[in-house]
Structure 1
């Protein structure tokens, strides 16, 4: 399976126990939002651009894709290079923004969200995901784990409206994800990892099947991550 397939066709295998749930839940949330995409789409923190072909395919009505990432990123050369602060695009120049697993890496979220609303056209949509239950990654550039309340505050302060959130996974998905992360990332001998991964594979599959992402965010809730949309006000 090539890199793009791990994002667009994630499978629950013994080797993919740590990434399956996060990849599949993000993909599902993104597919729900595709009909809202049109015109020019900016993919901020695009990395390997795994969703490029997806957002250029119906039911998305996107006509042009722009991948934006840091100049010295560890992935591939983007369409546009970014200093992490100022987006090199004119005001009101894109119709939609894609930001998957990006905001947790931004040391100044207020600045980034203000830049996103600047480059969006009036009525433009922002789609985003952030992790909640995930290990330290891209160290030392791992800054935050957001709750929906903090995200809403940042987005409203930047000027967004019609802000909506969804949990990417609930209690069962959270347990499955922790099992997957433990067996695939905890230091252990390779043979032990292989055996435990095979033994725990049906457990993870069962928990993923049983999971029902919560509709509302409430006290003592456990979630794997958050997806959401926000709109730049129309003129």
Structure 2
């Protein structure tokens, strides 16, 4: 198991060394997940399924909330799946109906060619009133090519959820215009450092590199601090109709 989520100074955070280019997005997902678990589950009971779990980055966060957890991913996953419990497709999950209290689907749905069928399977394995925590990208580069099929608006997420019998409880943007603008401006620099690291065979895209820290990591940390402050005071950057955002965090339940 290789998690980029670490526990330091009494709280969970994303390891800057493992996710320097996408620190902002991963931190928002992490904090939304922590809030979701705290608001919906008591520690030490129920079952959770982490679909498309890869290297199980969020396992340290959710393991104490459930009496048992299961992870599943495809055998051709580009991530380290040595710690995954079951290798299977989301289109045919090897679990009985109504088995789980919670399903996690983080940054996976865009890689599924049949997203409605995938959501139907998530609904099938959920208990009545069970929760689905779903995160999806919108304005981000292609990744995990060629298995990158879709980008979802909040209207598509709501439509697909209702179509398969899932009640949409909330849809929240992963940052707004300034989050997108920041990562868009940093993208050429990230690619440059990735290229140099490959040519020189050195880990240059790392917080130990002062130029990388000052130009790539520190601006993201500044945005995250502002975003967190707004969240704590009941505000937010945009709403589910935001026209410029990195993606969405959606909470659905089986009705």
Same fold (TM over 0.5): yes
Partner SS, residue 96 of structure 2: coil
- Any conservation in 2 of the 1:124–1:232 contact (CA below 8 Å)? yes
- Any conservation in 1 of the 2:28–2:174 contact (CA below 8 Å)? yes
1:4 aligned residue: 3
TM-score w.r.t. the length of structure 2 is 0.79
Alpha-carbon shift at residue 171 of structure 1 (Å): 1.5
Cα RMSD after superposing both structures = 2.6
Which sections of structure 1, spanning at least 5 residues, go unmatched? none
1:64 aligned residue: 68
Q: State whether structure 2 residue 175 is matched by structure 1 residue 169.
A: yes
Partner SS, residue 4 of structure 1: coil
CA distance in 1, matches of 2:219, 2:99: 47
CA distance in 2, matches of 1:100, 1:165: 14
TM-score w.r.t. the length of structure 1 is 0.85
2:51 aligned residue: 44
- Any conservation in 1 of the 2:103–2:132 contact (CA below 8 Å)? yes
CA distance in 2, matches of 1:149, 1:103: 15
Moved more, 32-41 or 109-118: 32-41
The partner residue of 2:32 within 22, 29, 34 is 29
Partner SS, residue 172 of structure 2: strand
Moved more, 122-131 or 173-182: 173-182
CA separation of 1:6/1:91 partners in 2, compared to 1, >3 Å: closer, same or farther? closer
Alpha-carbon shift at residue 223 of structure 1 (Å): 0.8
Q: How many residues align?
A: 227
CA distance in 2, matches of 1:32, 1:106: 26
Alpha-carbon shift at residue 84 of structure 1 (Å): 3.9
